[in-house]
Amino acid sequence: MKALLLHPGPGRLLRFISTAGAGLILSFMSPLYGQDDYAAARESMVKYQIEAEGVTHRATLAAMRKVPRHLFVPADLKSHAYRDMPLPIGYDQTISQPYMVAYMTQAIKPVPGMKVLEIGTGSGYQAAVLAEIVDSVFTIEIVEPLGKQSATLLKRMGYTNINVRIGDGFAGWPEHGPYDAIIVTAAAEEIPPPLIAQLKEGGSIVIPLGRPGSVQTLVKATKIKGRLERKSLLPVRFVPFVRD
């Protein structure tokens, strides 16, 4: 189960969506959008799933409108690419629901000139959204075939400011640090010390914290005078932080 959001938006029930749950929902729902109307689908996604749920950061909204999410999902799921749910992408992984991607992006307050580290490349979608805003993205994926697949896709799409590395994200990517912000897309019980060390003074890390299999808390931790000041954001459920 990946990027499960347990956040109630206006007029909505709690979202309890897993990979299996998403498959069940898909089996009962007909495609919402035509295959040739992706731009309109993205606009609808942003308006009704993201803006309506409280995301206001203009650059994040613009990136969500621009990045073609349907290119990051399997061909047989393209008609579902702009629904507010995670979708399976192979290797027991999923692409997070659009709201979660937008929310985590907004949380780091991205602006041009920033250098961001992402732990957990997955489909590459979050990296692409970040790359539309910041100067450079360094992203690490532990599942080798998935990391290679995402790196190929991002290169083909023309993203020259995204660097993909295959490996254990616990140690970060110190050669390119320090980073203005770090986004982690897997749950850990504590923030890995190497990531804290690679975070710039005044920078923030957004990470789900909690035990595997339980409800976790999405936390934003900002480095102030070498120490982290933490703020709890949302109850979520992510897969555990996997190490080699």
Query: Rounded distance, CA 135 to CA 191, Å?
Result: 25
State what percent of residues in the chain have pLDDT above 90: 75
Based on the structure, what is the number of domains in the chain?
A: 1
204: tokens are 């923030």
Span 134-147, average pLDDT: 97
- Is 70 exceeded by the pLDDT of residue 32? no
Which carries the bigger pLDDT value, residue 212 or residue 217? 217
Give the global pTM.
0.86
Query: Would residue 60 count as lying in a domain?
Result: yes
User: Is 244 inside a domain boundary?
Assistant: no
The answer to whether position 176 is within a domain reads: yes
Whether 122 maps to a domain, the answer reads yes
Count of beta carbons in the 10 Å neighbourhood of residue 52: 14
Structure tokens at 235: 């109850």
Domain assignment present for 243? no
CA proximity to 78, closest of 39, 40, 35: 35
Q: Is residue 242 part of a domain?
A: no
Give pLDDT, residue 123: 96
* 27 in active site: no
pLDDT, tens digit (0-9, with 9 covering 90-100), for 147-202: 999 999 999 999 999 999 999 999 999 999 999 999 999 889 999 999 999 999 99
User: What SS3 class is residue 66?
Assistant: helix
Residue range of the domain that includes 59: 4-237
CATH at 172: 3.40.50.150
Query: Which of these is catalytic: 79, 96, 123, 136?
Result: 96
